[in-house]
Amino acid sequence: MQKHLAMTVTVPDLVSTIIPVYNRPEMLREAVASVLSQTYRPIEVIVVDDGSTDDTPRVGEELMRLHPEVLFLRKPNSGAGPTREMGRLAARGAFIQYLDSDDLLRPTKFQIQVAALKANTDCGAAYGWICVHPIGRPALATPFKGSGDVHLHLFPKLLADRWWNTNSPILRRSVCDAVGPWSDLKWSQDWEYDGRVGALGTKLAYCAEWVTDERHHSNLRQTNHANWLEPIRLRERLRFLQMMFGHAERAGVSDESPERVHFTRWVFATARNCAATGLIPEAKACLQLADQSAGSNRQARRGLRSFGWMSVAVGWRAAGRLSLLGQRLKRPSSMTLTQGFATSLANK
């Protein structure tokens, strides 16, 4: 059953919320309720089920039957990116809100952020404070990641840290159209999407108010207990890093910026991890990318050439394993920036 589906004429002032979901029936109810409770109108809620195998499809159909603002769509399982993309193509709003199915919006979010965008016509997105609320525990008292800081643009900080989360911004429809389709990355597809928003030079409007609750829980999440040395994750990480480098280049991030130095070291670390795992073509591609990212910055280049020589002398896999051993014995480099996720959780 479908109420509408296709690229249609954009409806002025309408906020379209796109919720991808997989096997989360009760959390989906709560996420949708948080959108329907908005003080702002007009709204529409587009729920896209990514091939759920539990009660989620029934809940989605029920929500659509009970609420005229809700549209429920289904598709075979293919990941979060293609699922959000199906919702994007169905959306009719002049403003787009992406919402993860395990998180909630504060009641005045749309009212605050749409007003900010109308007052700042040169801005393509408005963002506000994220509250981390671990289920069954007190919420964090300070805004999560960098959502409590004023940023005019996503870059250069985005190159080192995804300093906001999917639920924080509202985007103009024109920005989403310019960004284009979501990628099929299995992980970090939301970070990569932000990179494309940033590559456009999108100016941001800052709203110094709580706008969303990010709920941390023990149920299935993409990042739960992730082993980033698995070959499939390393291959996807390489794709992500290659994409992000291109976005940063288009955004004009200098190779002298601390964020780009951090990124270069991250790419170099991924090269060593790929080598240790036996992914030799991927290790070579990462080392080449690190060399490109370093540019003329001698500090960022530190160790690149010597690792290349070592890989020739003892082989790529042995060089990678020796490098991993060295990483365990020393503290993090002064060239590596602390990411907002780690900083915020350390203060909870």
CATH number of domain containing 103: 3.90.550.10
Q: Can you give the residue range of the structural domain that contains 23?
A: 12-214
Q: What is the pLDDT of residue 4?
A: 47
Say yes or no: 243 and 210 in one domain.
Answer: no
Rounded distance between C-alpha atoms, residue 212 and residue 46, angstroms: 18
Cα–Cα nearest to 344, from 108, 77, 143 = 143
Quote the mean pLDDT of the chain: 91
Q: What is the average pLDDT across 234-244?
A: 98
Per residue in 20-45, pLDDT tens? 999 999 999 999 999 999 999 999 99
Helix (H, G, I), strand (E, B) or coil at 51: coil
Distance of CA 237 to CAs 33, 61, 108, 164, 185, Å? 35, 36, 36, 20, 9
Token pair 């399982």: residue:
77
DSSP string across 96-110: EEE--TT-EE-TTHH
Q: What is the pLDDT of residue 217?
A: 61
Share of the chain above pLDDT 70, in %: 88
Q: What is the pLDDT of residue 134?
A: 82
Whether 9 has a pLDDT exceeding 90, the answer reads no
More confident residue, 219 or 314: 314
Q: What is the pLDDT of residue 345?
A: 44
Centre a 10 Å sphere on the Cβ of residue 11 and count the other Cβ atoms it contains: 16
| Residue 348 falls inside a structural domain | no
Helix H or strand E segment including 18:
strand 11-21
Q: What is the pLDDT of residue 292?
A: 97
Token pair 């009719």: residue:
92
Rounded distance between C-alpha atoms, residue 242 and residue 180, angstroms: 18
Residue pair 320/273 in contact by the 8 Å Cβ criterion:
yes
Say yes or no: 153 and 292 in one domain.
Answer: no
Q: What is the average pLDDT across 154-182?
A: 97
Rounded distance between C-alpha atoms, residue 218 and residue 324, angstroms: 30
Per residue in 241-286, pLDDT tens? 999 999 999 999 999 999 999 999 999 999 999 999 999 999 999 9
Say yes or no: 87 and 181 in one domain.
Answer: yes
- End position of a domain, from candidates 214, 247, 274: 214
Say yes or no: 235 and 187 in one domain.
Answer: no
DSSP at 296: T
Query: Which of the residue ranges 44-58, 84-98, 313-327 would you say has the lowest mean pLDDT?
Result: 313-327
- End position of a domain, from candidates 187, 214, 241: 214
Rounded distance between C-alpha atoms, residue 121 and residue 45, angstroms: 25
Say yes or no: 282 and 145 in one domain.
Answer: no
Say yes or no: 286 and 198 in one domain.
Answer: no
| Residue 224 falls inside a structural domain | no
What's phi and psi for 47, nearest 5 deg? -100, 125
- Rounded to two decimals, the pTM is 0.91
Q: What is the pLDDT of residue 227?
A: 81
